[in-house]
């Protein structure tokens, strides 16, 4: 076993299902390589961390609009190509099941189990009006400095 | 070839074969051999890269009827 632990950091900026799946597959793969993995969620990527159920929190008008218009959780994300008004994600989920590929919620669970650090960007949470209560348990909250702290000594840095 | 533990990753898609391999390898002691069975077409390149990066020794590989087999010795 090697003494020096390698690191991988991934920024998930996008809020589409296919891109989130790619990010989580790489994160899980890197964790299986005994690496320390940080997945940093910012802007639309934060939607992958939202709880599916409605959480009653106090919000302003704009924040409420954002909350209604953005997908609520990993199961509701659309595709970046061939979304077809929501039919695309249904088809891809069907095909994934057929090929025994893990679903996005399963990939997220696996990442947590493997010790992948999931970090929500607090600045964009404020912009989109997302509050801690609306995001899943077991994640961390930080800003660009914490991300850079991890990324500086990581050999793999991805922006998805 | 003898092995101390077998991982059945047949039918599993990326990234499960290496995730399962890693988990099983964690349960072995240094010098023990893990045998991995997989059907994913990328398995050969994936497990070779995994062994190289994690420092374990890929002793041997084989292919029978579309099943890839690997023997990896724990470092």
Residue B51: CATH number of its domain: 3.30.110.40
CB pairs < 8 Å spanning A and B:
40
As a whole-number percent, the residues of chain A with pLDDT over 90 amount to 96
Domain count, chain B: 1
- Please give the positions of B annotated as active site: 14
Would A83 be classed as within a structural domain? Answer: yes
The reply to whether residue B22 touches residue A2, judged by beta carbons under 8 angstroms, is: no
State phi, psi for A57 to the nearest 5 degrees.
-135, 155
CB-CB neighbours of A26 under 10 Å? 18
Structural domain count of chain A: 1
The predicted model gives A1-22 an average pLDDT of 89
CATH of the domain at A137: 3.40.1260.10
Cα distance between residue A26 and residue A49, in whole Å: 17
Half-sphere exposure at residue A133, Cβ-oriented, CA atoms within 13 angstroms: 8
Please say if the pLDDT value at position A4 is more than 90: no
Tell me, yes or no, whether A2 lies in a domain. Answer: no
| The pLDDT of residue A80 | 95
Residue B31 φ/ψ, nearest 5 degrees: 95, -20
Q: What range does the domain containing A105 cover?
A: 7-159
In a domain? residue A27? yes
**pLDDT (tens digit, 9 = 90+) per residue, B29-47?**
999 999 999 999 999 999 9
Q: Given CB atoms, is A95 within the 8 Å cutoff of chain B?
A: no
Distance from CA of B1 to the nearest CA of A (A): 23
- The answer to whether residue A1 is domain-embedded is no
């Amino acid at each position: 076993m090697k003494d020096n632990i390698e690191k991988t950091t991934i920024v998930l900026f996008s809020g589409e299902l296919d891109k989130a799946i790619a990010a989580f597959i790489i994160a899980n793969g890197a964790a299986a390589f005994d690496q320390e993995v940080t997945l940093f969620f910012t802007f639309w990527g934060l939607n992958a961390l939202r709880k599916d159920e409605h959480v009653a929190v106090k919000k302003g008008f704009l924040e409420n609009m954002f909350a209604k218009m953005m997908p609520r959780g990993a199961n509701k994300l659309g595709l970046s190509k061939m979304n077809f008004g929501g039919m695309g994600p249904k088809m891809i989920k069907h095909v994934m099941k057929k090929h025994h590929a893990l679903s996005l919620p399963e990939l997220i669970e696996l990442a947590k189990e493997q010790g992948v650090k999931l970090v929500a960007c607090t600045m964009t949470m404020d912009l989109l009006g997302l509050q801690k209560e609306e995001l899943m348990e077991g994640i961390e909250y930080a800003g660009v400095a914490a991300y850079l702290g991890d990324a500086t000594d990581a050999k793999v840095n991805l922006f998805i | 070839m003898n092995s101390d533990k077998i991982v059945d990753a047949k039918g599993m898609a990326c990234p499960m074969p290496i995730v399962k391999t890693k988990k099983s390898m964690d349960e072995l002691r240094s010098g023990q051999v893990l045998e991995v069975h997989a059907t994913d077409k990328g398995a050969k390149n994936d497990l070779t890269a995994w062994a190289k990066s994690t420092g374990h020794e890929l002793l041997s590989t084989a292919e029978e009827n579309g099943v890839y087999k690997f023997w990896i010795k724990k470092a």
